[in-house]
Amino acid sequence: MSVLKLYEYPSPILREKCEKVSVFDDELRILLDNMLETMYVDKGCGLAAPQVGITKRIIVVDPNPSDDDLSARQPMHLINPEIIWHSEETVLFKEGCLSLPEQRADVERYERVRVHYIDYDGNEQEILADDILSIILQHEIDHLDGILYIDHLSQLKRSRLLKKLEKYYNEEKHKKVE
């Protein structure tokens, strides 16, 4: 398994609409394995293919990506995921994204969603997700349509967050030069 290069905001690839997967082969499964590995190494609980430069409808998630207890992990690979139902109720949750490092903001999401997808072995699956898994799935499926969580914020909150992100990037660059 290998760790893939992560694309960060404002990379244009994060804004592309991804294509459905139609070929289920070893190459796809290697990509799924590498995406999961990348997600764990970068300490995320979800990762979408465009974040590693691939515009295909693929996400990996783990609501419990613990490093201390590997047996507690709950990895999921979802190919062509689609939200086929959502609750009327919504919840606020503080979200982050590996493509916008070190930033977080409250986002309103549906409390529960039902997602149809194809799994690692090519089988059709459906899951009714609540709690944090519901939020992760909505965040990651958004990525496949070029939508980032900051798009759900007010303009004021978004521009504040992007200013902080820019500051973070500048400090990081500074560190690398030293």
Active site residues: 140
How many residues interact with Co ion (rule CB under 5 A)?
A: 1
Q: Is 97 in the site for Co ion (CB under 5 A)?
A: yes
Q: How far is the CB of 31 from Co ion (least distance, A)?
A: 17
Amino acid, res. 174: H
Query: Regarding beta strands 46-48 and 58-61, do their DSSP bridges make them parallel or antiparallel, or are they unpaired?
Result: antiparallel
Q: Which part of the chain contacts Co ion (CB under 5 A), choosing from 56-64, 67-75, 96-104, 170-178?
A: 96-104
Residue with tokens 């070893």: 26
Q: Which part of the chain contacts Co ion (CB under 5 A), choosing from 21-29, 95-103, 157-165, 169-177?
A: 95-103
Q: Which part of the chain contacts Co ion (CB under 5 A), choosing from 21-29, 35-43, 93-101, 123-131?
A: 93-101
The residue (of 36 and 97) whose beta carbon lies closer to Co ion is 97
Any long-range contacts for 70-75 (C-beta under 8 Å, 24+ apart)?
Answer: 75/36
Asked if residue 62 lies in contact with residue 45, where contact means CB atoms within 8 angstroms, the answer is yes
Tell me the residue nearest to Co ion as measured from the CB: 97
The residue (of 24 and 158) whose beta carbon lies closer to Co ion is 158
The SS3 call for residue 149 is helix
What are the angstrom distances between the C-alpha of 144 and each of 23, 48, 57, 175?
Answer: 17, 7, 6, 32
- Residues at the interface with Co ion (CB under 5 A): 97
